[in-house]
Amino acid sequence: MAANKSLLLLPGDGIGPEVMSQVKRVIEWMDRRRAVRFEITEDLVGGAAIDAHGVPLADATLEKALSVDAVLFGAVGGPKWDNLDFKIKPERGLLRLRKDLGLFANLRPAICFEALADASTLKREVVEGLDILILRELTGGIYFGEPRGITVLPDGTRRGVNTQVYTTPEIRRVARVAFELARKRHSHVTSAEKANVMESGILWREEVQKLHDAEFPDVRLDHIYADNCAMQLVRNPKQFDVIVTDNLFGDILSDEAAMLTGSLGMLPSASLGDADESGRRRALYEPVHGSAPDIAGQDIANPIAMMLSFAMALRYSFDMADEADLVEAGVRKVLADGLRTADIMQKGTARVSTSVMGDSILLALDRLAA
Ligand code: IPM
Ligand code: MG
């Protein structure tokens, strides 16, 4: 018997627990129908952890995250915790997990499902068949750079500072992941920065180019200014294959790319660390959408991004490509059958709740696996 696969579930706040409970059903389904057993632990993060422990990520939770094969993360934050001190805001829990697990490579695929090509605010011909991957650097840049803070100046006015900083190794390791991923796709990497105004952007561009020339000359490499990249994403997104970019530009460009697919509720992500001697990478999987407090607790959230995040875990942490394909096929099937949560509703489709979407995906899995 293979060793159990360990998973830490951190549902978090808002719609996090609702979408995570649908994934739990898929995990149970895997156990029942595919004899794939996961060893599950669950814990608190974000506002839920603040309420219980006074901090958005307890040390004991971080210890668990460091010991499992993969973390499945829901979402954090909500108005209840908005006015807390910055250092203990719910988001800090997520940022600490990313940093302390060393998850520098954030994969954010933007795929337009055929059935949703009309749900995007962009024209069908612009997004139909779209399949791009944004690779966001996740543990460096302005999110973590020092100095940072708000100080009061002698005249009583205030000064806010954040620092964009990247080193050669930080740029090279994420660029390497981009080139390796591109080789398994369409062998095209576009690197986005602001080398026209930022020194860190110049360094970024030079290091990506150097690594390319030395080790990945077979991959096509283009450089693009991040603002132009934002424009090209809505003008002609299918020109891209893999986009590699820093932490802040990646945050923005991935939200933009999400809307090409019809809804933020559709987008999964994987955050990976360096491989250890056995080839195992620390990993955290999370939907790109947030906690959506305005619709929390109403059973109307779209669980698909969370489902697809689990599929990414199957693919990247557990080497279970067949099962990952199956979950993705299940999602495609219910969309093709015309079932929609509120965020992706269109004329002629049927509106379903979070839990009915879960029921339908399980039913689709039953049929596909029969
Ligand atoms: C994301 C989110 C986070 C980020 C927030 C919640 C800290 O927007 O994962 O894209 O800015 O990285
Ligand atoms: Mg974001």
Task: Give me the residue label for tokens 């749900």.
Answer: 119
Nearest-CA residue for ligand 1 atom 4 is 251
Nearest-CA residue for ligand 1 atom 7 is 91
Ligand 1: which residues within 6 Å by Cβ? Answer: 91, 94-95, 251
Q: Contacts by 142-148 with C-beta closer than 8 Å and gap 24+?
A: 142/246, 142/247, 142/248, 143/95, 143/247, 143/248, 144/95, 144/99, 144/247
Tens-binned pLDDT, residue by residue, of the chain (370 aa): 456 799 999 999 999 999 999 999 999 999 999 989 999 999 999 999 999 999 999 999 999 999 999 999 999 999 999 999 988 999 999 999 999 999 999 999 999 998 899 888 899 999 999 999 999 999 999 999 999 999 999 999 999 999 999 999 999 999 999 999 999 999 999 999 999 999 999 999 999 999 999 999 999 999 999 999 999 999 999 999 999 999 999 999 998 998 898 878 889 999 999 988 887 899 999 998 899 999 999 999 999 999 999 999 999 999 999 999 999 999 999 999 999 999 888 889 999 999 999 999 999 999 999 8
The residues, ordered by sequence, that sit 6+ positions from 103 with a Cβ below 8 Å of its Cβ are 97, 138, 139, 271, 272, 273, 282, 283, 284
198 exposed, middle or buried (CB, 10 Å; 0-12, 13-18, 19+)?
Answer: middle
Q: CA 346, CA 130: separation in Å to the nearest integer?
A: 19
Helix (H, G, I), strand (E, B) or coil at 173: helix
Q: How far is the CA of 251 from the centre of ligand 1 (A)?
A: 7
Alpha-helical (H) ranges within the chain are 16-34, 47-53, 59-67, 90-100, 124-127, 168-183, 199-215, 226-235, 247-260, 304-316, 321-336, 354-369
* Protein residues within 5 Å, CB atom, of ion ligand 2: 251
pLDDT at position 1: 45
Out of 45, 91, 138, 139, give the residue to mutate to test ligand 1, the one with the largest number of ligand atoms within 8 Å of its CB.
91
The residues, ordered by sequence, that sit 6+ positions from 116 with a Cβ below 8 Å of its Cβ are 261, 262, 263, 266, 335, 344
Q: How far is the CA of 156 from the centre of ligand 2 (A)?
A: 33
Pairing of β 38-42 and β 5-12: parallel
Fold match, 1-111+265-370 / 131-260 = yes
- Specify the CATH number of the domain 131-260: 3.40.718.10
Q: Report the sign of the C-alpha dihedral through residues 199, 205, 206, 207, in that order.
A: positive
Task: Give me the residue label for tokens 């942490």.
Answer: 317
Cis omega (within 30 of 0) on the bond before 11?
no
294-330: per-residue pLDDT in tens? 999 999 999 999 999 999 999 999 999 999 999 999 9
Task: Give me the residue label for tokens 């969309």.
Answer: 335
Provide φ and ψ at 163, rounded to 5°. -125, 125
Domain ranges across the chain: 1-111+265-370, 131-260
pLDDT at position 229: 98
Q: CA 370, CA 354: separation in Å to the nearest integer?
A: 24
Can you name the residues that pair with 133 across neighbouring β-strands? 109, 242
Out of 81, 94, 97, give the residue to mutate to test ligand 1, the one with the largest number of ligand atoms within 8 Å of its CB.
94
Q: How far is the CA of 118 from the centre of ligand 2 (A)?
A: 24
Can you name the residues that pair with 137 across neighbouring β-strands? 105
Q: Quick one: DSSP state of residue 55?
A: S
Mind telling me the catalytic residues?
143, 194, 227, 251, 255
pLDDT at position 183: 97
Label residue 59 left, alpha or beta by phi (over 0 means left) and psi (-120 to 50 means alpha). Answer: alpha
Label residue 297 left, alpha or beta by phi (over 0 means left) and psi (-120 to 50 means alpha). Answer: left
CB 334 within 8 A of CB 361: yes
Nearest-CA residue for ligand 1 atom 12 is 251
Structure tokens at 198: 């930022």
Write out the CATH class of domain 1-111+265-370: alpha beta
3-state SS of 213-242 is HHHCCCCEEEEEEHHHHHHHHHHCHHHCCE
